[in-house]
Amino acid sequence: MPIITSPQDFNTEDLYIDLRPTLGSEIYLKCEGFNFAGSIKLKAAAAMVARAEESGLLTDKSILVESSSGNLGVALSMIAANKGYRFLCVTDARCNLSTRRLMESMGAEVHSVNQPHDEGGYLAARLNHVQELCASDARYVWLNQYANAHNWIAHQRTTAPAIAEQFPCLDVLFVGAGTTGTLMGCARYFRKRERPVTIVAVDAEGSVIFGGSPKARTIPGLGAGVRPPLLDPSYVDDVVMVPEIDTIRACRRLAATGFLFGGSTGTVIAGAQRWLAAHRSASPVTAVAISADLGERYLDTVYQESWVRDVYGEAEYGVDYEAAAVDGRTMQAVVPCLPSADSGVW
């Protein structure tokens, strides 16, 4: 029985879901959402704060500031509250309302950037705002998750070894790309092992991380309008770009069987299915995909019918409905189409 005194002291490393009965795909999903921050970002947040403290950069007079689409902001809000730091999160209009309320409930101040930068989108606009804050007051300490090596070091020391312990015969690892901290940490770890593991990055269409053409994205968590300095493409074996509508479909498919995950998980699962169908359909494979968070923070977006139809349109959404009786009531259970297996591989 774990007994802790700080919320960042607890994290579940050994929970996996066998997706074969649900999706018919040879994928094990590593669930990272079972901690007090609710996402994998707790690892990077804890590592970056610890390093800032050790170096003397972070003191009791400091004000932590960070750009985040949501999950890292929640993790830093939690750690800041526990340690007695002030924290200001710079986010943007895509941040879920529930995520913003979570941060504020723990004492964080939240600034929302509502106009994207002409070239770098919302991320560039957020970074500009962070830099303006730091220039205005020396008390601000920016951890900079996009360039901070302890972002990826956290996953090299925790996430990747945990996967290797459970799956010594791992063939393929699917990792979503945002700051690329999780991706780089896992890729560096498995590159040093004797047994080769194929590292497949999964990104959202409209992201420029791997050189794609920028376009508007509405689901936070993966993708970026500015290429993160942490990325070293030489560690990545392949990249799958996933349309957001396929993210919605994958999330709904999982939810229909009782597994409620966040948007980034839907993206990673859609990309993993597509890649496996294109590259490993004829041979047995041990594949793991990393799920960054759970789905409660996406109830007003990914799992809200009106939002999905407003953003993507009914024709593109293309969802079939089945009437299902639950506790004597009739409700509409979503049964989305699976994404095609022959598109979106880069």
In order, the DSSP letters of 124-168 are HHHHHHHHHHHHH-TTEEE--TTT-HHHHHHHHHTHHHHHHHH-T
- CA pair distance 89, 78, nearest whole angstrom: 12
| pLDDT average, residue stretch 70-96 | 94
Burial class (CB in 10 A: 0-12, 13-18, 19+), 220: buried
CATH 3.40.50.1100 spans which residues of the chain?
7-36+150-298, 41-142
Does pLDDT of 151 surpass 50? yes
pLDDT at 325 (0 to 100): 26
- CA pair distance 173, 177, nearest whole angstrom: 13
pLDDT at 275 (0 to 100): 96
Distance of CA 103 to the CA centre of its chain: 17
Tokens of 214: 């920028």
Tokens of 258: 């009782």
End-to-end CA distance of the chain: 45
Q: How confident is the model at residue 121 (pLDDT cuts 50, 70, 90)?
A: confident
The CATH code that applies to domain 41-142 is: 3.40.50.1100
Quick one: residue 268, left, alpha or beta (phi over 0 = left, psi -120 to 50 = alpha)? alpha
| pLDDT average, residue stretch 188-204 | 95
DSSP β-bridge partners for residue 320? 335
Kind and range of the H or E element at 331? Answer: strand 329-335
pLDDT at 64 (0 to 100): 97
Quick one: residue 238, left, alpha or beta (phi over 0 = left, psi -120 to 50 = alpha)? beta
DSSP β-bridge partners for residue 86? 63
- Confidence (pTM): 0.89
Topology of domain 7-36+150-298 in CATH is Rossmann fold (3.40.50)
| pLDDT average, residue stretch 279-283 | 82
> Is the CB of residue 175 less than 8 Å from the CB of residue 237?
no
Q: Which of 32, 36, 42, 29 is nearest to 76 (CA)?
A: 42
Place of tokens 């979106």: 344
Does pLDDT of 111 surpass 90? yes
- CA pair distance 16, 30, nearest whole angstrom: 5
Does pLDDT of 333 surpass 80? no
Does pLDDT of 345 surpass 90? no
- CA pair distance 55, 57, nearest whole angstrom: 5
> Is the CB of residue 49 less than 8 Å from the CB of residue 79?
yes
pLDDT at 194 (0 to 100): 84
